[in-house]
Structure 1
Amino acid sequence: MSIAAENRSTPSSPVGLHRVLDPVGASLPQAARRLDASPQLWDDEVRISIETLNLDAASYRQLSEKHSGDGEAVRAEVLDIVATRGKMQNPVTGSGGMLIGTVEEVGPGSTLGLSVGDRVATLVSLSLTPLVITDGLARWDGRSERVPAEGHAILFGRSIAAQLPDDLSPDLALMVMDVCGAPALVSRVVGEYAARGVSPVVAVLGGAGKSGSLSLAAATEAGASRTLGVVPHEREAELLRASGLADEVVVADARSPLGLSEAVAAAGGPADVTVVCVDVPGCEQPAILSTAQGGTIIFFSMATNFAAAALGAEGVAADVRMLVGNGYVPGHAAYALELVRGNAAVRSLFEGRLEE
Structure 2
Amino acid sequence: MIVSDPTPTAAPERDHDARVSSPVGLHRVLEPTGDAVTLPQAAQRLDARPELWDDEVRIAVDTLNLDAASYRQLAGKHTRDGRVDGAAVRAEVLDIVATRGKMQNPVTGSGGMLIGTVEAVGPDSPLGLAVGDRVATLVSLSLTPLAVTDGLERWDGLSEQVPAAGHAILFGRSIAATLPDDLDPHLALMVMDVCGAPALVERVVGEYAARGVAPTVAVLGGAGKSGSLSLAAARAAGAARTIGVVPVEREREVLERSGLADAVVLADARSPLGLAAAVESAGGPADVTVVCVDVPGCEQPAILATAQGGTIIFFSMATNFAAAALGAEGLAADVRMLVGNGYVPGHAETALRLVREVPAVRDLFEGRLAAETSGSAGSDA
Q: Determine the structure 2 residue equivalent to 1:91.
A: 106
For 2:297 and 2:15, how far apart are their aligned partners in 1?
46
Given that residues 4 and 36 in structure 1 are in contact (C-alpha distance below 8 angstroms), is that contact kept between their aligned partners in structure 2? no
Query: Counterpart amino acid of 2:331?
Result: V
Which deviates further from its counterpart, 5-14 or 24-33? 5-14
For 1:21 and 1:120, how far apart are their aligned partners in 2?
27
Q: Determine the structure 1 residue equivalent to 2:58.
A: 47
Match of 2:76 among 62, 65, 68: 65
Match of 2:47 among 19, 22, 36: 36
1:216-227 pair list within 5 angstroms: 216-227=231-242
Match of 1:125 among 119, 129, 140: 140
* RMSD over aligned Cα atoms: 1.0
- Over residues 231-269 of structure 1, what are the superposed CA-to-partner deviations in whole Å (9 max), with x where a residue is unaligned? 001100000000000000010000000000011011100
Given that residues 16 and 53 in structure 2 are in contact (C-alpha distance below 8 angstroms), is that contact kept between their aligned partners in structure 1? no
The number of aligned residues is: 356
- Offset of residue 10 of structure 1: 2.9
Q: Determine the structure 1 residue equivalent to 2:26.
A: 17
- Over residues 110-163 of structure 1, what are the superposed CA-to-partner deviations in whole Å (9 max), with x where a residue is unaligned? 000000000000000000000000000000000000000000000000000000
For 2:135 and 2:20, how far apart are their aligned partners in 1?
26
SS, match of residue 348 in structure 2: helix
- Offset of residue 165 of structure 1: 0.2
For 1:291 and 1:86, how far apart are their aligned partners in 2?
41
Query: Counterpart amino acid of 2:22?
Result: S
1:238-253 pair list within 5 angstroms: 238-253=253-268
TM-score under structure 1 length normalisation:
0.99
1:273-352 pair list within 5 angstroms: 273-352=288-367
- Offset of residue 9 of structure 1: 5.1
For 1:38 and 1:114, how far apart are their aligned partners in 2?
20
SS, match of residue 121 in structure 1: strand
Given that residues 3 and 19 in structure 1 are in contact (C-alpha distance below 8 angstroms), is that contact kept between their aligned partners in structure 2? no
Query: Counterpart amino acid of 1:8?
Result: D
SS, match of residue 237 in structure 1: helix
- Offset of residue 47 of structure 1: 0.2
Match of 2:15 among 1, 6, 27: 6
Identity %: 81
For 1:217 and 1:4, how far apart are their aligned partners in 2?
50
- Offset of residue 11 of structure 1: 1.5
TM-score under structure 2 length normalisation:
0.92
For 1:266 and 1:24, how far apart are their aligned partners in 2?
54
Ranges in structure 1 where 5+ consecutive residues have no aligned partner: none
Query: Counterpart amino acid of 1:242?
Result: R
Given that residues 62 and 165 in structure 2 are in contact (C-alpha distance below 8 angstroms), is that contact kept between their aligned partners in structure 1? yes
For 1:219 and 1:255, how far apart are their aligned partners in 2?
23
Ranges in structure 2 where 5+ consecutive residues have no aligned partner: 1-9, 372-381
- Runs of 4+ aligned structure 1 residues displaced above 6 Å come to none
Query: Counterpart amino acid of 2:76?
Result: E
SS, match of residue 17 in structure 2: coil
- Offset of residue 3 of structure 1: 7.7
For 1:288 and 1:71, how far apart are their aligned partners in 2?
37
